[in-house]
Structure 1
Amino acid sequence: MAQPSDIPVGSQFTPDLVDLSAFLDAIIAHSGDKPAMEEATTRGPVRIQPYKKPPTRRQASLPLEAARQYGLIEPIPSWEATALSHTLAALEGDDLHRTFARHILLNLGGLRVVEAAQQMVHDGLKVTGDSLAGYLTDQGFQVGIHNTAINSLRKWLAEADVFPKRRHRAWEVDPAAKEHLVGMSDETVAALVGLGEEQQAFVEALCRIEPDGRYPAADVRDLTESIMGRRVDRANMPKTFLEPLQEAGLIEFTTRGTSGGKTSHLRTTDRFDAEVLRPFIARTIKHLDPSLIAYYRRRPTNIRADLTSKDRNIKGEALEALAIWVMRLLGLRFVAWRKRAADETAHAEVDVLLAGTLGNVPTRWQVQCKNTPSGRVSLEDIAKEIGISLVTKATIVLIFANCPVTTHARNYAQEVMKHSALTVMILDHDDLNEIIDSPGRIATILRREAHKITNISRYGADWLAR
């Protein structure tokens, strides 16, 4: 059974085939009457390119089915025009296409597509509709490959200048157009995506209140608890809620301490726009990967300093950044994070799956980054990763350890490689520092490890010498 798409699907609904303004007028005029909608949308002025011969009933239905996925027609069984359609129909020209593009970005996974296109360009990867669909699907965001969906979405965003309308460099993102439509900068997006569940609920509470002037933060917290259905962290409200939003540029606050029932007061900034933030927190944020977005806004030179931070969250983010940095150095693509509870490792470990070709050989990498300078990598740590590789289908297990590695662990890895086709590479604290100081050294270090592995006598191949 095919995975459901995370972006709208459907054909025969693109700006080079359909005049959006006329289409909206037609579905509103015949709202609820599908046959009448089909009749009106298969001819001018809706249809820009006439059919070469009368369309079949199925062909006539395709644009309406696509429009339903774009949120213009109510779900089955109704064929009524949505409130969004009525809103859009009142607009003209650029305002119409920009408002529709904003809807696609914030509500239909469009921003994830745009972010992925930027990431691929950043990593020197060729961007086409198929390669971008594969890149996203590998990360768990389902987009059909060899399907018109992603190109249809691109064409609608191109009407608002997010992508060029010309075919040359069709996937080159215009950052200014993107920021204008989303209503916030890339830095603000990264900050919001990195918020925890309680912090996101705090933003939602602020959007509901839309305070004018100074407002008691405790009241926002109380509404947050109503949204969450439980008590939230009250121990240090400025650090938990206010400081992250101030860093994102959304609020300013003053604290009056906690004695005598005093509470902090906040004031929203010009960047705070409830109409933008509400759908972003409710829908857009679930499509975005916070670790990937944060990394592509991050300077790799800060990774080493953050690895020794006393803040566990910063240490965890530094590990994620390290994993993605390794990916880029090796020319691999991100596949997925391996989920684990934060309290299981106290943010001292992160696991990621990568894929790509090395020397024309397809590879799948299971990478663990371990950041426990006072600890060590034990035999048990290696055994666990090797066991998990049976599920991840990794061909290479790479362990980045910001700590010593025991002799037993290295010996066990060698024994595994003697008896299986799995490759296990272990890079320790010294290797890590060498790579951070001189990123190009990763090739030399991996070549060194590969040479060691090549010299291992792998059992089961003796028959080749006969």
Structure 2
Amino acid sequence: MIQKPVELSHKPYYETQMGAAYLGNSLPLLKQLPNESVDLICTSPPFALVRKKEYGNVDAHEYVEWFKVFAREFYRILKPQGSLVIDIGGSWVKGYPVRSLYHFELVIELCKPQREGGIGFLLAQDLYWYNPAKLPTPAEWVTVRRERVKDAVNTVWWLSKDPHPKSNNKRVLRPYSEAMKNLLKNGYDAKMRPSGHDISTKFQKDRGGAIPPNIIADPASELGSFIGNAVLGSFNWVLENDLAQPVNVISASNTASNDYYQRRCKEFGIKPHPARFPQALPEFVINLCTEPGDLVVDPFAGSNMTGRVAETLQRQWLAFEIDENYLQASKFRFEPEAPLIVTPLMDLEKPAKQKALESAPVSTVDQPSKQKTEQNVMQQLNLFNQELTSMEEHKLRFTYGHQFEPEKFSLSEIVQLCQDCEPDRRQLQSQIAERFFSTHSSQNSNPTRAEENIRKLAMNCFLSLRAYQLVEKTNNDWSYQVTDLGKQILQQSDPQEALTIFARHILTNLTGMSLLKAIEAINARGDKPQLETIAYELQEMGYALSPNAIYTSTMRKWLELAGVFEREYEINWDVVSEILEIDKDYIDELYTLTPEQKYFLLAMIHLGIEDWTLSDKVVKYVTSVYKVRLTSKMRVQEIITPLTNVGLIDSKKSTDGRGAKSHYVKLTEKAKGELVSSLLASIAEITKLSETELNRTFEEVVADLNHPDKHVKGKALELLAIWMIRLTSLRFTQWRTRSYETGQGEVDVLAASDRFVYHRWQIQCKNTKKVDVEVLAKEIGMTFVTGADVVMIVTTGEFSRDAFQYAYRMMEVSRYYMVLIQREDIEAIKEDRTNIIQILDKRARRVFAKKELGLTQEEIDDIDAEEASLAFEDDVDTVVE
């Protein structure tokens, strides 16, 4: 249940599940908020402009003192690690083409120490909002005298009370540039650059996206809806070559004239707010500085864009606005029919820590004893000896680790010694004592006692090796063998990879995740993790552990070598996530498969091969889509048989007797349960469609396109778009529009591929009888916004002759490639899903013949007819044999 934000004595003007908007002067409303109760204040106060605005603004010379009254309340209500983000536009000196310095004076006053009359904030960073649609003002100096350029940038001050406010730029990553993608794919030389920067091998690791700049992009801009997208034309080179670091400019227009908010204002005769917040700015800031459930406040709410974005991103919010007309209009943003504005991040919003904790195996070591939580331990009377026996449950045991610290030996060194001495435990302990502990008791005057101490140390080391499951007991206490884990570690040529494998084992099979939870809990309280405090925390979790036991220190040191700890007790949850392979692609988990086997299996998954299908058809798909040739010789022995043996596909010969060339194949229940479900889950997470919907067959989806219910038809059109993406092995990028909700019967989607020649696809599905040339022209026009190279239009009806001619002409004279799929094609795909590749290949050959060979349409038709006859003869030959 979501907890409501702080309730004030005033009655809310309106409220939602996550927040409330209040009418009135924000100053007395702010005074009602408790100390240190707010995570983020994100606002755009009235600017100190030369010309007065209808929403009220203060003269520049009075502005700083006016604002400081509010700032004192901001400082009081912010949590110690909270943030204050102010969008504040610059101004001009009246009558002169020179800039006012009031917004710089303001930040200086806000950051002065309180003892000097300031507020005491720290400047975390300066961000910049670039508004490409801003008017060229002041007109006298820009458009009349031409002495100045257009003022199109607002300064956004990010202030905090603490040098380390809560923030995580992984929540605002932007897609990698092509340069960075090439670097990740091809590698580079790790060396000192001429600039003096030491570029290490860490830059070659794919971390899911580039850290965004402090230029914040508008989802409605021509470069698409990615947080942190850079759109300043003159800065493109810098931003494209910015391999991993974000920059600090937000680009967004606030001049939309026909969005939902504007239309509703017009319908009700309410004047909309003239200086609305762009969605991109609060989206960027809220994602950067808060987590779901945090409280966001906008004391100068205006049209309440901040509240709308916060609601969508599952943050609590409060909005204060003094003008009732503006507040009344802001209610339109929360109507059921209103667009969400931004896509909720859902699981993408979860930090690495949360994903790691949720994905860690659940075992009894993480479950505290139920009776331990009770005040009094239950007692039972023993009738035989009249003693009280405790009924407290058996305590959990933390992994034993004594004299097993990495300072003594490397991981591969100690495991190699175990293998060399196998299976004699006495010999191993003797070797451990001699190599690693021989000088331990050199100061002891009693040789016998010194020798005994050394033997105990070696024994403790062996017991630790066994506890960490690197060795295991065999016939008796004095024989052992190296485990599969130990052998796997010895097979690694890279020591760091061996440590990663060991860390994964510790986190997955031992008590490593409990240790991280205990340390994280201590850090969250602001306490200092030490041996005793960690032990006490683990005791609260149900472990029987002495406060002086060094087992936790031993485990922490091994995890530290794998990068789990950045500093002594600071957990790097991103590394934990990587070690646990949480974000690993579902098909890559099948690490034992060859590339050819993977592509064959992946093709069957995307095509949804659940009924017996000739393997030849799957092979043609693999060749066309993945550009991988699977020869007939290797097909059965090297692909079909191994996949059958591991239980991922079923296979049988296509004909009995001699000469049969092909096999029938289909996915097994295991593959459908583990692999297809994983694919659908990943699509569901991105598209926000349910797995139940995505699990519907292609045939069921096409049938629903004729359903009398508009909503059912619209949902079927969405699912058809997703099916087209799956059938062509593309990757869903984003929805472009959802026009079916307005009754227009169309769905637009963007997709991408790194295997097709053209890597960015723009797909439109239309449920109409006829598609004419105007639709195609409109889609080509949209490519200037989407940056697509391929335009696919799918219709349940037909394309006009003019539409086909326009498509071929466009492909002849431009860089675009158009794919037109109509009713007869959909019927062919219903009969056999692999027909999608024949259809696409045929379209591609036609374009090549006309564009490169200069053939006429009649000549192309003759070639197609001849190919069709040859294909028929091949089929007949197969049957005869």
TM-score range for the pair, normalised by the shorter chain length: 0.3 to 0.5
- TM-score in terms of structure 2 length: 0.26
If each structure's helix is expressed as a fraction of its own residues, which one has the higher value? 1
- TM-score in terms of structure 1 length: 0.45
Higher relative contact order (CA 8 A, sep 6+): 1
